[in-house]
């Protein structure tokens, strides 16, 4: 079993920044992928960014150039640095862990509004 704890969401004005963190605990696989998804009200959950345990990262085109994903394997933690935030970035952001099994965090709310 893997548990995921997210933090860092909140209310920010357009153009602002937030940094999300997600720490995994439990039975961590040596090779895995961690990432972030988001879901806005009335929309399906969508992929935002992923990073492998080897450090290879992919960012969705909708946030490329504004968001950066990174991880600290020693802390089993993945980060999502979000800059130049827009109102359309509003939603619940979910941490995802994929090893032998797929796990989800509880989600953290990000609201971009003036």
- Residue 72 pLDDT > 90: yes
On average, the pLDDT of the chain sits at 95
Q: What's the pLDDT score for residue 103?
A: 95
C-alpha angle 10/15/21, rounded to 5°? Answer: 40
- The answer to whether the beta carbons of residues 68 and 76 sit under 8 Å apart is no
Average of per-residue pLDDT across 50-63: 96
Q: What is the spatial distance between Cα 16 and Cα 18, in angstroms, rounded to a whole number?
A: 7
Write out the two tokens for 67.
């968001």
Q: Give the residue-averaged pLDDT of 82-105.
A: 96
Residue 35 has pLDDT above 90, yes or no: yes
**CA 10 to chain CA mean position, Å:** 14
Neighbour tally for 40: CB within 10 Å: 14
DSSP code per residue over 20-36: EEEEEEES--SS-EEEE
């Amino acid at each position: 079993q893997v548990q995921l704890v997210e933090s860092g969401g909140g209310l920010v004005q357009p153009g602002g920044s937030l940094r999300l963190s997600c720490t995994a605990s439990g039975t961590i696989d040596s090779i895995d992928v961690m990432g972030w998804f988001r879901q806005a009200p009335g929309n399906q959950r969508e992929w935002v960014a992923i990073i492998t345990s080897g450090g290879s990262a992919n960012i969705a085109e909708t946030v490329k150039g504004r968001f950066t994903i990174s991880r600290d394997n020693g802390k089993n933690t993945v980060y999502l640095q979000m800059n130049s935030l827009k109102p359309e970035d509003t939603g619940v952001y979910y941490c995802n862990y994929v090893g032998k099994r797929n796990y989800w965090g509880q989600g953290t709310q990000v609201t971009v509004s003036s």
